Chains A and B, each alone.
Chain A
């Protein structure tokens, strides 16, 4: 088989595999949404930000999940530092000072 034909068949197989994976990872969702939300999703498609309404839904949900994840991490980080016991607070400060001073002994220009 000529190498070009082999390459094309290989690429087709790879594309088929990608499509199969994408299909397996997607779930059917049949529902209704508010008219203004549907209009927003359609705008995302018409403006070229996504290729389909389905992709627009995925993108919108991904953004919401990122916002919620960030809020969760920020709240937990604040809770950790706000909730430190007096001993833990002293140790945090001590470790910070020690590590700061310790970094001074590293010559970053000499490190590869």
Chain B
């Protein structure tokens, strides 16, 4: 499979507001330093995301390859707006400068997906995070 979920169609750029601020649950394309625009989901609270005093957000990147696991959620193109299936990798939760965020994709994570993502982040850092059939 090609690394399609990293690169979003250029057409999406046209729907963006130049002064848009990231909000929790939104999917953005970001510059992680390799010259590609990579999709990330914003997970920090909006009080931080929208604050002019905070120059960074917490983000979880999407990958094109992987498998579902305690810290990885497979998402379909219909859920993300990305061109192919993608893998939201909570074990890569990261501080990201807001000025590294390029543009927002049309889809946002649902409240249920955000709760699941938070639980996955917890699974990455807390050995006692609830994990099992009843928690996912």
On whether the beta carbons of A69 and B65 are closer than 8 Å, the reply is no
Contacts of B94 in A (CB 8 A): 99, 102-103
State whether B127 touches A73 (Cβ < 8 A): yes
Residue of B whose beta carbon sits closest to that of A112:
B53
A102: which of B3, B33, B54, B66 is its contact (CB, 8 Å)? B33
Of B63, B66, B95, B129, the contact of A103 (CB 8 Å cutoff): B95
CA A101 to CA B71, docked complex, whole Å? 22
The digit string for A69-112, where 1 denotes a CB below 8 A from any CB of B, is: 11011101101100111011011101110110111011000111
Q: Please, which residue of chain A has its CB at the minimum distance from the CB of B2? A: A87
For A101, the chain B residues whose CB sits under 8 A away are 32-33
Given contacts A102-B96, A111-B56, contact A73 B66 (CB under 8 A): no
**Contact partner, B128, options A70, A80, A106, Cβ 8 Å:** A70
Contact A111–B55 (Cβ < 8 Å): yes
A-B contacts counted at CB < 8 A amount to: 85
Q: How far is the CA of A103 from the CA of B7 in the complex (A)?
A: 21
Give the CA-CA distance A105 to B89 in the complex, in Å: 21
Instruction: Check: B97 CB closer than 8 A to any chain A CB.
Output: yes
Give the complex CA separation of A110 and B94 in angstroms: 17
Q: How far is the CB of B52 from chain A (nearest CB, A)?
A: 10
> What are the residues of chain B within 8 A of A79 when measuring CB–CB?
69
8 A–B contacts from the bound complex (CB under 8 Å): A76-B70, A77-B69, A79-B69, A85-B65, A98-B38, A99-B92, A106-B95, A112-B51
Binding site for B on A (CB under 8 A): 66, 69-70, 72-74, 76-77, 79-80, 83-85, 87-88, 90-92, 94-96, 98-99, 101-103, 105-106, 110-112
